[in-house]
Amino acid sequence: MPIRIPDDLPGRPTLEEEGVRVMDRSTAIRQDIRPLRIGLLNLMPNRVETEVQFARLLGASPLQIELTLVRLAAHQPTDRSRPHLDAFYRDWDELKDEKFDGFLITGAPLGMVPYEEITYWEELKTLLDWTETHVFAPLFVCWGAMAALHHFHGIAKEKLEEKASGVFPHTNHDITSPWLAGLGQEVPMPVSRWTTIPSASIEASDKLRMLLSSEATGAGLIEEPATRRLYMLNHLEYEAESLKEEYERDLAKGEPAKVPVNYFDGDDSKARPRHRWKPHGHLFYAGWVNEIYQAVPFDWTETT
């Protein structure tokens, strides 16, 4: 089935050129099925690229997806991105009485900035609490995962000695998990962050369990079984060039940047990067959508 997004969303032509089936509103209404409602709180500065990355993976599912783009009132956009947000995003305050089958919160380029110093932290905390009653299965990504772990469990992130950048093999600790169906014993995942969540903090919790981890970069995917929350520390949604673009941006800003590990052939930054995690990204997000579909009540999103 296709993914339902606004007809004139800038990323739509890219998805259609790649063969992702995109549905317009009139066609969706004619189908006598309930689409899965997925919300995306996009905190990344490259909003259009991030929208495309997640829509590409969600749109590969055999189920009909209705994707809602969400923003926070306290997260002030740049003048350049404001028209895009005004046209295609909904303020969270407008939809807080609605329910979602799934909800994604992305990363944000905030590094070690204390949570309490972030301008939209109070509003984000309120939204995180809202997911407990209005979202069937939340998925938090990178910084979003760290922020959620801090909010719900008081787990602090730790600064790495140097930025973790590259494609790292992750051990699958539970091949029977429905969230990891088909992924195999080892999962390559793009990593791009200055911080980490200590594995010991996860092991000490009786509410959390590690699903994927790397010897080099630590926790990769954490599950909270009682709430269906998933905390994804890395970026299976990344495109082939994403790490390359981040590496070049770091160099341009004069930051200490090493060539991303296991990414370019021969670790040659002039070589074309290989998209070796692509099938794993599709499997993971298809599995996430399918598990929601199998478990969510049919009338979950009806207002009560």
CATH number at residue 270: 3.40.50.880
Range of the domain at 212: 3-295
- Give the pair of three-digit tokens for residue 189: 């995942």
Is 249 assigned a ligand-binding role in the annotation? yes
Residue 213 lies in a domain: yes
pLDDT top residue among 89 and 304: 89
Query: Could you tell me if residue 303 is inside a domain?
Result: no
Amino acid present at 165: S
Mean per-residue pLDDT for 228-247? 95
pTM to 2 decimal places: 0.88
Q: Is 14 a member of any domain?
A: yes
**Residue 98 appears among annotated catalytic residues:** no
Higher-scoring residue by pLDDT: 55, 298: 55
Q: Active site residue: 51, 134, 224, 235, which one?
A: 235
Q: Is 90 annotated as a binding residue?
A: no
Active-site choice (51, 66, 134, 142): 142
Is the model's pLDDT at 89 over the cut of 90?
no
246 inside domain? yes
What's the pLDDT score for residue 29?
A: 44
What the block records as the tokens of 193 is 């962050």
Per the domain annotation, does 304 fall within a domain?
no
* Residue-level pLDDT at 33: 63
Domains identified in the chain, total number: 1
Looking at 237, 239, 246, 291, which residue is catalytic? 237
Q: Is residue 238 part of a domain?
A: yes
Tokens for 33, please give them. Answer: 């099925």
Q: Is 237 a catalytic residue?
A: yes
CB neighbours of residue 73 within 10 Å: 11
pLDDT at 34 over 80: no
Residue whose structure tokens are 């199998």: 294
For residue 301, is it within any domain? no
Cβ proximity of 236 and 280 under 8 Å: yes
Q: Is 213 annotated as a binding residue?
A: no
Name which residue leads in pLDDT, 173 or 73.
173
Phi and psi dihedrals of 158, rounded to 5? -125, 145
Between residues 80 and 67, the one the model is more confident about: 67
Q: Is the pLDDT of residue 47 over 70?
A: yes
Confidence of residue 4 (pLDDT cuts 50, 70, 90): low
The full 3-state SS of the chain, as one line of letters, equals: CCEECCCCCCCHHHHHHCCCCEECHHHHHHCCCCCEEEEEECCCCCHHHHHHHHHHHHCCCCCCEEEEEEECCCCCCCCCCHHHHHHHCEEHHHHCCCCEEEEEECCCCCCCCCHHHCCCHHHHHHHHHHHHHHEEEEEEECHHHHHHHHHHHCCCCEEEEEEEEEEEEEEECCCCCHHHCCCCCEEEEEEEEEEECCHHHHHCCCCCEEEEEECCCEEEEEEECCCCEEEECCCCCCCCCHHHHHHHHHHHCCCCCCCCECCEHHHCCCCCECCCCHHHHHHHHHHHHHHHHHHCCCCCCCCC
Q: Pick the closest to residue 176 from 211, 213, 207 (CA basis).
A: 211
Q: Is 173 a catalytic residue?
A: no
Is position 300 within any domain? no
pLDDT band at 1 (very low <50, low <70, confident <90, very high): very low
